[in-house]
Amino acid sequence: MAAQQGLALPMVSHAEVPLYPPLARVANVSGVVHVIVTTDGHLVVTAHANEGPKPLRDAAEKNAMSWQFTTHEPTTFTVTYVYKLVDDLNPQLNNPRVILQLPTEVEVDALRWPGTHDMPSDPPSGATLNHEAGHADPPKPQ
């Protein structure tokens, strides 16, 4: 890849604001997406994400395709998109927090959808996660 062989990365002159995909937010989907971007010296000609949750890959690719650059040598480089669901977007509850370190890093933080919570990595002591755990035991004969 040209940019990773020492050439300077292009300067972004225009880009759409990256937003958190609404369905991903409701489904409590967060994650990291790496998008391989190829330019023609002015525009993005391809943007391909090969890992990460599909709704986030689609949003990252669509956003990267909106980018325009000042004139530069055609190149290929990787952009890392980080999508986070957070609990601290006061006072802008309805708007995401977007942190750009162009052209290689994009972070989009959205308020966690009410009623969704991260699952603990380890169940509490004595808890079971098998199928039968949520069912009541049948009455015992007396």
CA distance 19 to 56: 10
pLDDT digits 0-9 by tens, 26-59: 999 999 999 999 999 999 999 999 999 999 999 9
Extended beta strands in 40-75, E state: 44-49, 68-69
DSSP per-residue string spanning 117-131: -PPPSSPPTT---SG
What's the pLDDT score for residue 91? Answer: 64
Nearest to 47 by CA among 117, 103, 124: 103
Nearest to 78 by CA among 47, 100, 41, 109: 47
Q: Using DSSP, state whether 36 is helix, strand or coil.
A: strand
How many folded domains does the chain comprise? 1
Q: Domain for residue 23, yes or no?
A: yes
Tokens of 107: 């972070």
pLDDT digits 0-9 by tens, 67-88: 999 999 999 999 999 999 998 8
Look up the CATH number of the domain holding residue 96.
3.30.2420.10
Q: Domain for residue 127, yes or no?
A: no
Q: Give the other-Cβ count within 10 Å of 103's Cβ.
A: 22
Please report, in angstroms and rounded to a whole number, the separation of the first and last CA atoms in the chain.
75
Beta-strand pair 105-111/76-86: parallel
Q: Domain for residue 132, yes or no?
A: no
Phi, psi of 123 (to 5 degrees): -70, 155
Predicted confidence band of residue 113 (pLDDT cuts 50, 70, 90): confident
Instruction: Calculate what percentage of the chain has a pLDDT beyond 90.
Output: 65
Q: 67 lies in which domain range? A: 2-114
Q: Domain for residue 104, yes or no?
A: yes
Q: Domain for residue 86, yes or no?
A: yes
Q: What is the mean pLDDT of residues 3-24?
A: 88
